Structure 1
Amino acid sequence: MSTTTETTGTTTRTAPGARRLPGTLWLGLVRGGVELREYVRERDSIIFGFAYPIVMLAIFATVFGDDEPITVDGTTVSFAQYFLPGMVATGIMLSTYQTLAISIAVERDDGSLKRLRATPLPPTSYFLGKVFLSLTTVLVQTALLLAVAALVFDVPLPDEPDRWVTFAWVFVLGTAAGALCGVAYSSVPRSGRSASAVVVTPLLVLQFTSGVFFSVSQLPEWMINLSSLFPLKWVAQGMRSVFLPDEFALAEPAEAWQHGATAAVLAAWLVVALVVGTRTFRWRRHDDG
């Protein structure tokens, strides 16, 4: 069908019968479907990214089992239960920050971003597609992780509605902050080959300093203060407030769950990453102008 327009003065009208272009949101969903299909085809990404929290939970819970219970103020939980919140937090950051930062850096290096920029696809739709991918993978990953924890390792899941409300807002803020941090950080690697090392290393270090692998009470104060500057520590702490008894708040650095501080820090990272990403994002390689 041909498209004709009539121009009168400064007003352009589309002739009857002409097709309107799809909206930005619809194109973002379509792009998200493309991203998801490409992700599923990369089996190594699924194994090492998608299944990582589940595998780590299984390894630690199997090795330590009930021989290493953790007690705070007379309340004891299994190592698997204490380890679960950190793995949920890690899964969020893996599926958002790590996945986006690496994939975008690779797409920039192989010229995919440059070619996409030359198409009619709005930039916003491209980023919506990436967010759709992250949200889909992190939802499935978290659901599987909780199922394995409950069914295989007998980890009790919360039965109070307010805990699931806390889970929801920590999950949403953590996912949003992680996704925007991934987009912003994707401009740091100078090539696709270096992306994995440049992106994974900081996250791996933060897993050790943010109370993911160890009880926060075992970490030195300077390490806790340093990790408090980054989102992972706060997502992990927020998830501990969901899956651990209230007595375990005494084991936190401030002896409280600090929900207000968690929301404030994650929201601040969301805003900062959005501003930095908007100003520094590159569609071309560093050596391509």
Structure 2
Amino acid sequence: MTTVHLPSPLSIGLARGVVELKSFFRVKEQALFTFSFPALILAILGSVFDREIEAGVTAGQVLTASMVGAGIIATSFVNLSISVALDREDGTLLRLRGTPMPLLSYFTGKIILVFVASLAETVLVLGVGVLLFDLPLPSDPAKWLTFAWVFVLAVVSCSLIGIATASLAKSAQSGAAVSNVPYVSLQFISGVYVSPITMLPAGMVTVASFFPIKWTAQGFRSVFLPDSMTKYEMAGAWELGKTALVLGAWCVVGLVLCLMTFRWSNKRR
């Protein structure tokens, strides 16, 4: 008797990721605006507010480091809130439900899409920072190691939060509203658009500290800015341990929320 070995959830998730990437890049306008928006905002705000914060460090360089994090949040949290709501709205999720694909494989496919898109977007944002604001790229391998784990934790945590948030939306249109309001608000109170973050009221930063974007932006500032810039952080330090703890916690919370709130269709029972 022949034994049939079914694909593992991981291999199915990888295959789903390829489908997600093909679907994303097939819509050229979507890919273009997704990649260009953070870089465009960086070019505008960095040029308008660029000034020297301390010797050798400008506001444009600080904004570049923070915008790397904001770009990842936009690609993960905002885009997945919309795309998952669209998958539910157009019946894609119901069709997938009729296949042997596990739910976790669907999540994996979305995270793969975000990982690739965020990496490309990061390269573009850093390119703008280097060309327009003379951002020096780190030569210390330890800095790039920090970049890697902050990047991975940010992608996973915010992707899962985006998938969970999509359950609040009945359509792709409402998904945009549900995700953009907290995203834009948190950018301001997390110090993405305000440089340095110590210019913000302490109460605002305390609220922002409960969410990933503040820690993601701070983690990337630790990579691309000199250690002398820690005096412009609220705690006077990069707090990399706390960054890993908060982002890791959101990975767990995001997964739990996804499993508890995910809906295959807009019909509530």
Give the structure-2-normalised TM-score: 0.93
The answer to whether the 8 Å contact 2:154/2:247 transfers is yes
In the alignment, what sits opposite 2:94? 114
- Paired with 1:29 and 1:142, the residues of 2 have a C-alpha distance of 22
Correspondence for 1:100: 80
Residue deviations 1:176-212, cap 9 Å, x none?
A: 1111111211111132221111111110111111110
Structure 2 gap segments, 5+ residues each: none
Counterpart pick for 2:200 among 194, 200, 219: 219
Contact 1:70–1:82 at 8 Å: present in 2 too?
no
1:84 to 53, 64, 81: 64
% identical aligned pairs: 45
Q: Which residue of 1 aligns with 2:13?
A: 28
Please provide the CA RMSD for this pair.
Answer: 1.7
> AA paired with 2:119?
L
User: What is the deviation of 1:278?
Assistant: 0.9
Counterpart Cα distance in 2 of 1:138 and 1:42: 17
Q: Of 221, 227, 231, which residue of structure 2 is paired with 1:246?
A: 227
2:118 alignment partner in structure 1: 138
What pairs up with 1:159-238 in 2 under 5 angstroms? 159-215=139-195, 216-238=197-219
Is 1:42 aligned to 2:27, yes or no? yes
| Amino acid paired to 1:40 | F
Query: Following TM superposition, by how much is the alpha carbon of 1:76 offset from its aligned partner in structure 2, in angstroms?
Result: 4.0
Q: 2:128 aligns to what?
A: 148
1:227 is aligned with what amino acid?
A
Asked if the contact 1:114/1:283 (under 8 Å) is kept, the reply is yes
Larger Rg: 1
Q: What is the CA distance between 1:140 and its match in structure 2?
A: 1.4
Q: Distance in 2 between matches of 1:44 and 1:37?
A: 14
Any gaps of 5 or more consecutive residues in structure 1? Answer: 1-14
CA contact (8 A) 1:102 1:196 kept: yes
Q: Secondary structure of the equivalent of 2:168?
A: coil
Amino acid at match of 2:107: F
**Residue type of the partner of 1:28?**
G
CA contact (8 A) 2:107 2:160 kept: no
Once the two structures are superposed, what CA deviation does each residue of 1:96-149 show, in whole Å capped at 9, x if it has no partner?
A: 111211100111122211111012222222221111101111111112222332
Output the TM-score relative to the length of structure 1.
0.87
In structure 2, C-alpha distance between the alignment counterparts of 1:288 and 1:277, rounded to whole Å: 16
Structure 1, residues 17-73: CA drift from partner, whole Å, max 9, x if none?
x764433222222211111111112233223322211111222233345xx2212xx
SS at match of 1:256: coil
Name the residue aligned to 1:263. Answer: 244
Q: Report deviation, 1:288.
A: 4.8
The AA in structure 1 aligned to 2:135 is V
Count of paired positions:
268
Q: In 1, Cα distance between the equivalents of 2:182 and 2:61?
A: 26
Which 4+ residue blocks in structure 1 deviate beyond 4 angstroms? none
1:165 aligned partner, one-letter code:
L
Quick check: which one's helix share is greater?
2
Counterpart contact for 1:32–1:132, Cα < 8 Å: yes
Distance 2:219 2:178 in 1: 27
How far off its partner does 1:245 sit?
A: 1.3
